[in-house]
Amino acid sequence: MRPQEGTIRPALGCMDALSEVLAACRVERAVTARFSLHAPWALRSDGLPGVMLRLARGAPWWLLLDGAAPVQVQAGDLLMLPLGSAHQLASAPGLPATPFAELIARHAEGPRDENPLVFRHGGAGEATQVDSVLLWFSAWSRHAVLQQLPPLIHLRAAEVPWLPRLAAAMEALTEDSLARRPGWRVSAARMGELLAVNLLREHLARTPAHGEGWLRGLGDPAIGRALAALHRAPQRDWRLETLAREAAMSRSRFAERFRAVVGATPIGYLTAHRMALAAEQIEAGRQPLARIAEAAGYESEKVFSRAFRRWAGLPPTAWLRRERARRQALMDFGGADAEEEAGAQPTSRRAAAATAAASMRDSASSTGA
């Protein structure tokens, strides 16, 4: 398939930057499932705490995202829901849907990361098999990459010649997890990560980069050079003039162009990028907050915590509690109540993305990092 007219590609000098970004996308846990479905059937997910991958086999079926037109899914197609959005799967539109939660309660055996979910559902009609992998990405990946993506990425077997190889890999991942051979959980996380990265590569190569964000910035040769330098050394004492020098532009022209393409000031974007990196360190739990704050360029925990709250909507401790609850909910293929269990007000992924974007815009008047 030829690139669509107007598609924004990473500039040749920035291809390594895209590779570096994708290389930093780490999956920490994977949960697998296989559903044998016979028409008529319909299932509903109220939202997921991670990234969902689905592989279609057998009879065609339909995916319905809230507020979007139904999408038909053919055998061999691969789906990715980067934001864990609420959705329905059905043998035909308009059927009453059974909540996944009911079937999970009926068929689940122990923790999901130890026992893949398998069930049969529906009537006596055409057979469909859906393999599913739910992935929990690292904090930086969730905030810096996944929030830039649409609710649904649908790769069609009829349009992507090499897709059968990815589909076979996902089928092998599911089979391996069902067999529960030694080390299958680590293997599932690594294979799930590789699948997701390849799906993202194909999506970015085929889809125009609309709106704003660093993905669109990589398609601009000058802005892409600045982003590549910033991503390679986020700890550097970047100033507007040094970033402009990377782009080979004047200070004022660079600031104007960066904001138009990325949707944030250069220093605002740098601040948000550092916060996402700090969030990953907080979640890892291997360093004290004071050291994380110092690495992010803050002189004290108190100042860092205030900045983190502006970025995430919660102070570090409350944010960590919420994210741990969401990660735990991954094992239930659910997670709609995870934020409430963590003591925070429920918010959508899109709302979280808006919070991060607002944080970057709030830094518009900054002139140093």
Work out the burial of residue 299: count CB atoms within 10 Å of its CB; fewer than 13 is exposed, 13-18 middle, 19 or more buried: exposed
pLDDT in tens, 209-226: 555 677 788 778 899 899
C-alpha distances (whole Å) from 112 to each of 175, 298, 314 are: 15, 40, 29
- Please state, for a pLDDT cut of 90, what percent of the chain lies above it: 46
pLDDT in tens, 294-315: 888 888 899 999 999 999 999 9
* pLDDT value, residue 169: 93
- Indicate the pTM of the whole model: 0.75
**Spatial CB neighbours of 37, under 8 Å, sequence gap ≥ 6:** 43, 61, 89, 91, 120, 121, 122, 127, 128, 129, 130
- 63 phi and psi angles, rounded to 5 deg: -115, 130
SS3 at position 49: coil
- pLDDT surpassing 50 at residue 160: yes
* pLDDT value, residue 38: 97
Q: Are 317 and 325 in contact (CB under 8 A)?
A: no
- pLDDT surpassing 90 at residue 133: yes
Q: Are 294 and 76 in contact (CB under 8 A)?
A: no
C-alpha distances (whole Å) from 76 to each of 38, 170, 285, 288, 322 are: 17, 11, 40, 46, 36
Q: Give, in degrees to the nearest 5, the angle at Cα 236 between 234 and 241.
A: 105
* pLDDT value, residue 114: 66
Question: In whole angstroms, how large is the CA radius of gyration of the chain?
Answer: 21
How many whole angstroms separate alpha carbon 213 and alpha carbon 259? 9
The residue ranking higher by pLDDT, 327 or 2, is 327
* pLDDT value, residue 208: 60
The tokens of 361 are what?
A: 């815009």
Q: In the 8-state DSSP scheme, what is residue 219?
A: T
